[in-house]
Amino acid sequence: MNSDTVNIKKLIIKQSLELDCGKTIKNFPLAYETYGTLNKKKNNAILTFHALTGDQFVAGINPITKKKGWWTFAVGPGKAIDTNKYFVICANVLGGCMGSFGPTEINPETNKIFGTTFPVITIKDIVKSQKFLIDHLDIKKLLAVVGGSMGGMQALQFTSSYPDAAYSTIPIACSASHSAQNIALNELGRQAIMADPNWKKENATPNKGLAVARMAAHITYLSKQGLQEKFGRKLQDKGSLKFSFDADFQIESYLRYQGSTFVDRFDANSYLYITRAMDYFDLEKQFNGNLSLAFKKTKSKFCVISFSSDWLYPTSENKEIVIALNACGANVGFVEINSDKGHDSFLLDVPEFLKTLSEFINSTYNDIK
């Protein structure tokens, strides 16, 4: 991973941003990418939020990894989020490692990489930094804010913090706060990184720890049924067991591959900071235990989407958001998509999901034209 050799689009945010941890930052970079064209009325803009290991490169080819953007199934010409019609914006989150202000940046006070001296951030901080970007683009009101997983958390926070900033909000496969299970899973990943002997060593990266963290997390993105159908107990090499600790099974080889490729594009400390931001997210707590108050001031139209086989952010947690929205009289629709692909369904070619996304965004646009 080296974003320095690629011409990444960045906004230097000169305004001061007071973080939830009490520290203040200013003159910091926010890397972003756009797709499509902003129309004259500036009412066709969609702010897309990426998940934990995503980045600003939603569609096309990522210039750093040389791989397809993380949401190419959904975003592009003629796709669910049609870039022939809509202007799509995505920023690398605060704390990220694709050009935005994060632990890989140089601390001007010490002239050394921040590392773990970087301030702890929250989803609210991340959203505040992205509002500066929207203001910079002179967009008064977004057509939609949309995201899955951690991106869904950002969508909820954005609409709560800026109730008049978007016509519609699409939180996908997420929750209004992290469950004990999800905090535990994130802690497993963080401990894997921090247990690596190379963590905190100068000029060394904890690749083994980060790879294990990625492997553990990747399992949670899939479903038991999906794993069984794809891998079952198939052996990596045809024939008998090796009676060793090599990758005998295809699933083992697959996870090792996921771990090894991840370390080439992601920073271990960014992983620590962003998972911590997810764990700290608790929209209900921000409003004294009443989630419906988080959305009381917004006129935004909501479409909450979950997936039947998602055990990381199950339908029951998505429904809690719907219940809170109903309680405050919000305009909300809810769809559970049948899929055996688990949490990752929102990133994949799931026709019913893509159709739902397309129809909701198009109807919203038709309403405001």
Note whether 151 and 195 are same-domain residues: no
Q: Do 91 and 157 sit in the same domain of this protein?
A: yes
Domain boundary residue, one of 240, 270, 300: 270
Last residue of a domain, which of 270, 302, 322? 270
Locate 141 and state its tokens.
């009101």
Is 332 contained in some domain?
yes
In this prediction, residue 5 carries a pLDDT of: 53
Catalytic residue among 149, 175, 270, 306: 149
Domain with 264 in it: what CATH number?
1.10.1740.110
What DSSP letter does each residue of 278-347 carry, written as one string? HHH-BHHHHTTT-GGGGGTT---EEEEEEETT-SSS-HHHHHHHHHHHHHTT-EEEEEEEP-SSGGGGGG
Instruction: Indicate if 111 and 259 belong to the same structural domain.
Output: no
State the Cα–Cα distance between residues 17 and 7, nearest whole angstrom. 25
End-to-end CA distance of the chain: 42
Domain co-membership, 91 together with 170: yes
Of 352, 301, 289, 34, the C-alpha closest to 163 is 301
**Catalytic residue of the set 310, 340, 344, 345:** 310
Helices (H), the chain: 123-136, 150-161, 180-194, 207-221, 224-230, 250-262, 268-280, 283-286, 315-327, 351-368
Q: Which of 175, 177, 343, 344 is catalytic?
A: 343
Domain that holds residue 211: 183-270
Same domain, 228 and 84: no
Tell me what pLDDT residue 200 has: 87
Q: Which two tokens stand for residue 228?
A: 């069984």
- The answer as to whether 250 is a domain residue is yes
Answer yes or no: do 86 and 217 share one domain. no
Please give the average pLDDT of every successive group of 10 residues along the chain, which has 369 residues.
69 98 97 98 98 97 95 98 98 98 94 95 98 98 98 98 98 98 98 96 92 97 95 88 92 96 96 98 97 97 98 98 98 98 98 98 95
Residue 276 lies in a domain: no
DSSP 4: G
Q: What pLDDT shows up at residue 203?
A: 83
Query: Is residue 172 situated within a structural domain?
Result: yes
User: Per the confidence metrics, is the pTM higher than 0.95?
Assistant: yes
Task: Confirm if 146 and 48 have CB atoms less than 8 A apart.
Answer: yes
Is residue 149 part of the annotated active site? The answer reads yes
Whole-angstrom distance, CA of residue 174 vs CA of residue 317: 7
Domain count across the chain: 2
343 given a catalytic annotation: yes
| CATH code of 295's domain | 3.40.50.1820
